[in-house]
Copies of this chain bind each other. A is one copy, B any other.
Amino acid sequence: MLASKLYAPTLRETPADADVISQQYMLRAGMIRKMAGGIYSYLPLAWKSIRKIEQIVHEEMGSIDAQEIMMPIIQPAEIWQESGRWKVYGAEMIRLKDRHEREYCLGPTHEEMITTLVKGEVNSYRQLPVTFYQIQNKYRDERRPRYGLMRSREFIMKDAYSFDIDEEGLDVSYWNMYHAYERVFSRCGLYFKPVEADSGAIGGSNSHEFMALAESGEADVIHCNSCDYAANIEIGKPGIIKAVEEEASELQEVPTPDAKTIEAVAEQLHLPLAKTIKAVVLSTDGVVVLAIVRGDHEVNEIAVQHAVDSTIEPEMATEEELQNAGLTAGFISPVGLKQTETFKIVVDESVMETYNVCGGANKKDAHYININPKRDFNVDDIIVAPIRLITADDACPNCGGQLSIAKGIEVGQVFKLGTKYSESLNATFLNQGGRPNPFVMGCYGIGVSRTLAAAIEQFHDENGIIWPRAIAPFEVVVVPINAKDEALMDVSTRVYEALKAIGVDALLDDRKERAGVKFKDADLIGYPLRITVSKNTLESGAVEMKIRKNGEAIEVPIDEVTTVVADTLNTL
């Protein structure tokens, strides 16, 4: 393609409201434009990269016999009501009514839809297993869309769904997909880690997330330095820390004016954080949950969700919910409180192993000292569970080794659903014995647009993007340093044509811009290779080939360009 015919409006300045590198560079490189909060247009360069990711996905889905279909983006409310998720999704689901006042949503995912689609048509075990996939816009009305394509409200997903006879079949489908995902992300050039993930309240036995490791990632990944354990921090199970045993002193109320955080209390009372307990009040599915961890620990909300057996991810409780539960924010502990239908108390295991700690007195400006949980809590009336977040100081849950924590961008997830949707939507097949059985399902997702952003988060420098070859909008840019010079344009065109002839995806920068502008654009957009055609090297019958990744530049004789470029691309 000719750069003079390519719409790539590059910007010299970093746009003000771009939070992360991928967003900044995609805006600056003329790849995306924001049309509304969390809603973007893809300009030609970005769309070309998206198409390359899609092609890799198609090939790898084909390799495991997954069949491409296309389901509607608009989904009728009825199937979501049937599965029970119409309510669960809350404000994240974008809803609408048609002219006849019928309710729909814009699909955030398609479990209900695919189950409805095969229901009554896949009738026999002989038709199983079967796996479908589609690549499509998905919708989530994020409270605070941010980070460009990493957390947008309209985004491109590849979603897939497998249908099997039984758990063993699902296991095969699951691992086929898992390995296909490994190949997809490897081929895209990402540095990623599959990690164990929360399988939710569904009771599925397996889920893995594919994490592209990057500073800007919103997820925390723990992994062991000794064994191959790797997991989303949410599911890392911490050990129980037993404090040194002490004689229990008498419970005593002390004034703690204006000390609303446990850190402030510890400072006022000159206590180490480990001698305090802190309260986090959450809300899930209409239930207010008081979560208690040691002052030096953090609450793992997913663990709390499991502890109270909820299907809905907890959120911070509102002031109103606190009031209704009779809680005094900043001064809460379980001492003297009782659970009800709509109020639960979940205490971390390690809290139960503490002595003489400090916690809220459940009234304003007061704390207790010398709380002894086993003595002072209604121990038969609380839930004790491992609800603190694991840390790098904990031992590996698998081998006891040293853990590390890294930031990750979730680019994919595989999930064993089991019979959750086939049961709620009553979708069955006849097994070998002629009896109706619910399908055993898996669901699988790849964030296509997020993968694009993740690649940039991983591969860039101060001058711009450094594309992995496989998903670069163009593999090579050929730059005549002066497009008005016929001799230079002539050589450039010949090199460009020769590269295209061997299947290299090349761009000829025939724009009548200064060389400096073209070089800056080439670095910003991040083509893996740049061929510069100038009088300097032409004198010796050569052009310059520069590798974006490491800045290495070598002179290449014109008649060797195709070979050298092909060889070099294979190393990128």
Binding site for B on A (CB under 8 A): 5-7, 9, 33, 35-36, 39-44, 47-48, 50-51, 65, 67-76, 91, 94-96, 98-99, 102, 104, 106, 113, 116-117, 121-122, 127, 130, 132, 137, 139, 141, 143, 153-154
* Binding site secondary structure of chain A: mixed
- A139 and B39 form a contact (CB under 8 A): no
- B96 and A68 form a contact (CB under 8 A): no
Of the residues B47, B73, B91, B102, contact of A70 by C-beta under 8 Å: B47
A430 vs chain B, min Cβ distance (A): 15
- A143 and B44 form a contact (CB under 8 A): no
CA distance A40 to B9 in the complex (A): 37
Most buried by B among A42, A69, A91, A102: A69
Q: A33-B117, A94-B98, A117-B35 are in contact. Are A41 and B74 (CB under 8 A)?
A: no
A68 nearest in chain B by CB position:
B47
Of the residues B43, B70, B117, contact of A69 by C-beta under 8 Å: B43
CA distance A147 to B345 in the complex (A): 58
Q: A7-B130, A47-B70, A65-B5 are in contact. Are A99 and B141 (CB under 8 A)?
A: yes
Chain B residues with CB under 8 Å of A122's CB are 7, 9
Q: A33-B117, A75-B35 are in contact. Are A69 and B47 (CB under 8 A)?
A: yes
Chain B residues with CB under 8 Å of A48's CB are 68
A2 nearest in chain B by CB position:
B65
A70 nearest in chain B by CB position:
B42
Chain B residues with CB under 8 Å of A39's CB are 72, 74, 76
A6 vs chain B, min Cβ distance (A): 7
- B41 and A70 form a contact (CB under 8 A): yes
- A67 and B6 form a contact (CB under 8 A): yes
Most buried by B among A7, A44, A113, A121: A7
- B35 and A116 form a contact (CB under 8 A): yes
CA distance A335 to B130 in the complex (A): 71
- A98 and B47 form a contact (CB under 8 A): no
List the 3 shortest-distance A-B pairs measured between CB atoms, nearest first: A96-B96, A42-B70, A44-B67
Q: A69-B41, A96-B94, A104-B36 are in contact. Are A74 and B113 (CB under 8 A)?
A: no
